[in-house]
């Protein structure tokens, strides 16, 4: 039990954080994630929103 | 073991996402095309925004979205499986995997679907209320899952009861919890004057896509678990070895 607890900090929070980030990007992002790279264009063009648009609808995210 | 489950979950989720993407492509995209055409028709004459991705690219994006989503929920699925291993009375990897997938589908998909049914593009769109609608939807997902978790805890508390009494009590708990959530959370927005047939087809295809995703995750994760168990030749005795019920 101790050995698993000792190893856990390495990948557990990382896996959860990555999974949440992916879920946010696919379902809810409206420009914030790419803003550091594209600045205001990220919000105006809304790249991730447009790319994931169909999946977003079919996965039941509230209509935007 | 957690790492093994994590890998297995991501693999199952990725595969499930791609198959769900195929289902969405076959049954959801025709409806989406129709809705988008309708939406553009209603904008005609008004401001026309330059599209970043065309419809064809968005259909490729569907597979990307489903694959990424599948891998992410598969990751969570693997971690939850590691948590529940040794804590549930299910006899086999297969039964545990299918049970977990069914529970998550009920809590994260079916329950929010009944309260906040999804809408096709251009229906129920109001940027003003997006934040509130998103918060309400996420609350429904999180609280439904939490209610199912407590239902499972309750079932464990009632282990001394006859099966029928336990099932009735836990069933009543789930129903009351769902009714309470449904009553307390804000109402779903109206679909407006969108064609009812279009909205209905879209919602069915959305539910189907997500059903495919969770059935495949449960099946693949379960089969991979069973095969690993068979290879290790440990059979059913892992419960006792892992420290058993806590």
- Our CA angle for B32, B37, B43, nearest 5°, is 125
Rounded to a whole number, what is the distance in angstroms from the first to the last CA of chain B?
18
CB contact under 8 Å between B52 and A46, yes or no, is yes
**Residue carrying the six token digits 């836990």:** B170
So what's the ipTM on this one? 0.87
Q: Cβ of A14 under 8 Å from any chain B Cβ?
A: no
Shortest distance between the Cα of A37 and any Cα of chain B, in A, equals 17
Contacts of B219 (CB under 8 A, 6+ apart): B97, B98
Tokens of A57: 């609808």
Q: How far is CA B68 from the centre of its chain?
A: 14
Average pLDDT, chain A: 85
Contact B235, B229 (CB under 8 A): yes
CA distance A41 to A51: 15
Q: Cβ of A17 under 8 Å from any chain B Cβ?
A: no
Q: Which helix (H) or strand (E) holds B22?
A: helix B2-23
CA distance B166 to B57: 51
Best mutation site among A22, A28, A57 for testing chain B: the one with the most B CBs within 10 Å?
A57
Contacts of A57 in chain B (CB under 8 A): 28, 32, 118-121, 202, 206
- Provide the pLDDT for residue B105: 98
Shortest distance between the Cα of B161 and any Cα of chain A, in A, equals 32
Q: Where are the domains of chain A?
A: 2-58
pLDDT band, residue A9 (cuts 50/70/90): low
* Length of chain A, in residues: 64
CB-nearest to B72 from A11, A22, A47 is A22
Contacts of A46 in chain B (CB under 8 A): 52
Provide long-range contacts, Cβ within 8 A and 24+ apart, for B42-50: B42/B122
Contact B66, B46 (CB under 8 A): no
Segment A43-49 mean pLDDT: 88
Residue A40 has pLDDT above 70, yes or no: yes
Contact B49, B230 (CB under 8 A): no
Segment A4-17 mean pLDDT: 74
- Provide the pLDDT for residue B244: 45
- Provide the pLDDT for residue A44: 85
- Provide the pLDDT for residue B46: 47
CB contact under 8 Å between A28 and B61, yes or no, is no
Contact B14, B71 (CB under 8 A): yes
- Our CA angle for B105, A10, B241, nearest 5°, is 65
Q: Cβ of A26 under 8 Å from any chain B Cβ?
A: yes
CB contact under 8 Å between B69 and A62, yes or no, is no
* CB atoms inside a 10 Å sphere around CB B234: 11
CB-nearest to B123 from A4, A50, A63 is A63
Contacts of B127 in chain A (CB under 8 A): 64
Q: DSSP code of B207?
A: H
Q: Cβ of B28 under 8 Å from any chain A Cβ?
A: yes
- Provide the pLDDT for residue B199: 93
CB contact under 8 Å between B2 and A61, yes or no, is no
Residue-level pLDDT, tens digit, chain B, 246 residues: 889 999 999 999 999 999 999 999 999 999 999 998 888 877 654 444 567 888 888 999 999 999 999 999 999 999 999 999 888 887 799 999 999 999 999 999 999 999 999 999 888 778 888 899 999 999 999 999 999 999 999 999 999 999 999 999 999 999 999 999 999 999 988 887 888 999 999 999 999 999 999 999 999 999 999 999 999 875 555 555 554 444
Alpha carbons within 13 angstroms on the beta-carbon side of residue A16 total 8
CA distance A53 to A2: 44
Which SS3 state, helix, strand or coil, does residue B48 take?
coil
CA distance B103 to B110: 10
């Amino acid at each position: 039990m101790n050995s698993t607890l000792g190893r856990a900090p390495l990948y557990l929070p990382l896996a959860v954080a990555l999974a949440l980030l992916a879920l946010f990007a696919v379902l809810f992002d409206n420009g914030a994630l790419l803003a550091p790279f594209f600045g205001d264009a990220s919000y105006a063009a809304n790249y991730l929103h447009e790319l994931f648009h169909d999946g977003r609808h079919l996965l039941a995210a509230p209509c935007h | 073991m957690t790492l093994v489950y994590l890998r297995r979950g991501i693999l199952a989720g990725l595969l499930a996402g791609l198959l769900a993407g195929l289902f969405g492509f076959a049954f959801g995209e025709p409806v989406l095309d129709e809705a988008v055409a309708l939406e553009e028709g209603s904008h005609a004459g008004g401001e026309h925004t330059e599209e970043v991705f065309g419809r064809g690219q968005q259909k490729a994006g569907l597979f990307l979205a489903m694959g990424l989503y599948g891998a992410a929920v598969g990751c969570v699925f693997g971690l939850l499986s590691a948590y529940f291993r040794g804590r549930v009375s299910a006899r086999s990897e297969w039964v545990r995997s299918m049970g977990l997938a069914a529970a998550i589908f009920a809590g994260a998909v079916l329950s929010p679907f009944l309260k906040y049914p999804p809408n096709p593009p251009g229906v129920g769109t109001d940027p003003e209320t997006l934040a509130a609608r998103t918060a309400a939807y996420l609350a429904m997902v999180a609280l439904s899952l939490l209610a199912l978790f407590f239902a499972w805890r309750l079932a464990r508390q009632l282990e001394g009861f006859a099966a029928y009494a336990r099932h009735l009590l836990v069933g009543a708990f789930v129903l009351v919890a769902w009714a309470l959530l449904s009553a307390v959370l804000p109402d779903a927005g109206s679909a407006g004057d969108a064609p009812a047939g279009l909205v209905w087809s879209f919602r069915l295809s959305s539910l189907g896509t997500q059903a495919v995703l969770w059935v495949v995750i449960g099946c693949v994760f379960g089969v991979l678990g069973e095969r690993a168990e068979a290879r290790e030749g440990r059979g059913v005795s892992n419960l006792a070895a892992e420290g058993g019920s806590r």
